[in-house]
């Protein structure tokens, strides 16, 4: 009788553990970056990772230090959401923004290609900008869906 109880208890615990795992997977936490937080990863400090956002998705571009590090050609793009600059292939300070207002069809297509073909393929996603995850009033945006990135495992720092 005593053993039977142990078996039942063990079975119940296993079911609970499985459910908990499922729930955790369903709501994988994402790291949220405010503009100020993202700015800390602009490559200006040696040893700090370098982050850059496109379409509100924050990529760790540290392995591309030769492009993005301090003094490198594309350093202006990092520590911020540079969607417009990437879409237009421009380093004009006015284009260093998330804002896509008025971009042409072909610029938007080019943005998609670079987003998928370069950034999602090459650099791990480490989080999302608050603009992408939250509504203007700060409430969660229920349409938010994290990007898949099957080539990379999710980083532990979340
Ligand atoms: C005369 C103009 C330009 C030339 C000749 C040029 C050339 C190149 C080349 C050859 C690479 C690849 C380097 C490699 O993989 O080893 C590269 C990468 C890159 N270019 Fe340009 N580029 C130009 C202008 C721009 C502009 C205006 C932007 C503005 C957004 C830009 C953004 C980038 C970025 C972000 C990368 C790195 C992508 C990565 O992380 O793999 N380029 N460029």
Question: What is the mean pLDDT, run by run of 10 residues, along the chain of 158 residues?
Answer: 47 39 53 96 95 97 96 98 98 98 98 95 94 93 89 53
124 with 65, same domain: the answer is yes
Q: Is 78 in the pocket of ligand 1 (CB under 6 A)?
A: no
Angle at 71 between CA 117 and CA 62, to 5 degrees: 40
User: How much is the pLDDT for 149?
Assistant: 84
Q: Is 67 in the pocket of ligand 1 (CB under 6 A)?
A: yes
User: How much is the pLDDT for 23?
Assistant: 38
18 with 72, same domain: the answer is no
Q: List the domain range (segments joined by +) for residue 23.
A: 1-28
- Expressed in angstroms and rounded, the spacing between residue 36 Cα and the centre of ligand 1 is 26
57 with 100, same domain: the answer is yes
17 with 63, same domain: the answer is no
- Expressed in angstroms and rounded, the spacing between residue 74 Cα and the centre of ligand 1 is 8
| Distance, CA of 31 to CA of 128 (rounded, Å) | 6
Which of 43, 61, 67 is the best mutation target for the ligand 1 pocket, counting ligand atoms within 8 Å of the beta carbon and taking the most?
A: 67
Residue 139 domain flag: no
73 with 60, same domain: the answer is yes
Q: Is 85 in the pocket of ligand 1 (CB under 6 A)?
A: yes
Q: How many Cα atoms are found within 13 Å in the side-chain-facing hemisphere of 112?
A: 6
Q: Which atom of ligand 1 is nearest to the CA of 86?
A: 30
């Amino acid at each position: 009788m005593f053993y039977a109880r142990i078996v039942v208890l063990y079975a119940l615990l296993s079911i609970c553990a499985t459910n908990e795992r499922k729930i955790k997977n369903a709501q994988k936490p994402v790291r949220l970056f405010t503009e100020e937080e993202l700015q800390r990863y602009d490559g200006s400090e040696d040893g700090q990772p370098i982050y850059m956002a496109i379409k509100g998705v924050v990529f760790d571009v540290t392995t591309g230090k030769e492009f993005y590090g301090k003094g490198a050609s594309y350093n202006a793009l990092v520590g911020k959401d540079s969607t417009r600059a990437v879409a237009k292939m421009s380093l004009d300070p006015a284009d260093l923004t998330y804002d896509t207002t008025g971009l042409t069809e072909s610029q938007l297509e080019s943005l998609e290609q670079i987003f998928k073909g370069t950034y999602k393929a090459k650099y791990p996603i480490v989080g999302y900008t608050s603009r992408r995850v939250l509504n203007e009033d700060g409430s969660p945006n229920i349409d938010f869906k994290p990007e898949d990135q099957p080539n990379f495992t999710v980083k532990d720092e979340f």
